[in-house]
Amino acid sequence: MNVLEETKKIEQEIIKWRRDLHKIPELNLYLPKTTKYVEEKLKEMGIEYKTLVNGNAIVGLIKGNSDGKTIGLRADMDALPIEEETGLEFSSTHKGCMHACGHDGHTAMLLGAAKILSENRDKFKGNVKLLFQPGEEYPGGALPMIEEGAMENPKVDAVIGLHEGVIDERVGKGKIAYRDGCMMASMDRFLIRVIGKGCHGAYPQMGVDPVIMASEIILSLQKIASREINTNEPIIVSVCKINGGFSQNIIPDMVELEGTVRAANNETRKFIANRIEEIVKGITSANRGTYEIEYDFKYPAVINDKEFNKFFLESAKKIVGEENIFELPTPVMGGEDMAYFLEKASGTFFFLSNPKVYPDGKVYPHHSPKFDVDENYFQIGTSLFVQTVLDYLK
């Protein structure tokens, strides 16, 4: 079976599915129109499925010609709260909501793989699970799917997923990228309330200044990366939001700092969380203030299995050729809740570089109101899904 030829036959269908989905972007864990669309396509293909997460996640099941292993294929389906500015004929019909991260393409490519595999059940043994996931952007849909049994009955032995667009500028258009071990960083969020005592700005000795304490905290947090962790290890501690004060001549009672932490392993992740609180406690105590911290451990790092990567790469070579496979030298510091699926089964998460290049030569990044992708490469994503399944379940 020539997978690329089979995918080419349905390429226009895949593109149509993506465009249909692009028109109806939905947010978070509430995707009624999106899931209805996917369910209709699975019914047309004769694929059995069930819904999870209050009907907003879909798990399809394709059974081969006999018993065997089970492989999961994952696609996220949610969009972003962004007003679209692409000017596409199939632009979002939902005001203030847009597929600005390529999840419409992920869903369409997985539907393409589902169609080909459902029509070729006689060519593999075992099972294929189709994992259509909500809420990747926020608040996370992989974990609730797993908690509701998405990876069981039958138990998933391996899982793969992809992300399209230009996730990493080192990856040329038309290439795929992978990495052994940490592919993408963990993603955690902190909110620090620095509490002092308000007073007149002309008489600072009458109060306890949270602005000064917050400033010291911001600078000290940057020393975690530069002075406390091996410089070869990628980590990020970013304070992204500061909120405090209401007048130019009044020292406020409180300043809030909110930010994100990225790390490549759980040990460092926990170390950073502990150090943040130690630093905040020390600075506020030294300045007669107090503090409160909300620390949310969100998505763990995306860890690709080295042995499964070897297997996947052999399948990938049949589709794109060795010259179009790029090994990332360092992890990407963005986060992805595909990580939870990879904690439950060995597997691979890879990037498909297919950014749209506008007539003026510009490429707009993910989460931009002008983000778009080159649909001509959808056949590559679908083919990689199908080839990996056929090789794994042969």
Is 101 annotated as a binding-site member?
Answer: yes
Q: Is 137 annotated as a binding residue?
A: yes
**What pLDDT does 170 receive?**
87
Proportion of the chain above pLDDT 70, given as a percent: 100
Q: Which of 6, 78, 104, 216 is catalytic?
A: 78
The pLDDT tens digits of the residues spanning 192-243 come to 999 999 999 999 999 999 999 999 999 999 999 999 999 999 999 999 999 9
Work out whether strand 176-178 and strand 325-327 pair parallel, antiparallel, or are unpaired.
parallel
Taking only the tens place, the pLDDT of each residue in 19-46 is 999 999 999 999 999 999 999 999 999 9
**Residue 163 marked in a binding site:** yes
136 is catalytic: yes
Residue 97 marked in a binding site = no
Are 316 and 3 within 8 A, CB to CB? no
**Residue found by looking up tokens 């960083």 in the block:** 185
- Asked if residue 168 has pLDDT above 90, the reply is no
Say whether pLDDT at 7 is over 90. Answer: yes
Residue 241's Cβ-side half-sphere holds a number of Cα atoms within 13 Å equal to 10
The per-residue pLDDT for 359 is: 93
Domain residue spans in the chain? 3-183+301-392, 187-299
CB atoms within 10 A of CB 108: 27
Class of domain 187-299: alpha beta
Q: What is the dihedral of CA 238, 241, 243, 248, to 10 degrees?
A: 90
Helix 11-23 / helix 32-45 crossing angle, nearest 10 deg: 160
Active site residue 78: yes
> Using one digit for the tens of pLDDT, what is the confidence trace for 255-277?
999 999 999 999 999 999 999 99
Percent of the chain with pLDDT over 90: 99
What span, in angstroms and rounded, lies between the C-alpha atoms of 9 and 14?
Answer: 10
Q: Which of 115, 134, 158, 111 is nearest to 378 (CA)?
A: 111
* Mean pLDDT, rounded, for 350-374: 97
Shortest CA distance to 47 belongs to which of 109, 134, 131, 153? 131
pLDDT reported for residue 169: 84
Contact indicator for 127, 57 with CB cutoff of 8 Å: no
- One of 84, 104, 136, 164 is an active-site residue; which one? 136
Q: How many residues does the chain have?
A: 394
Under CATH, what is the fold of the domain 3-183+301-392?
Aminopeptidase (3.40.630)
pLDDT for 223 equals 97
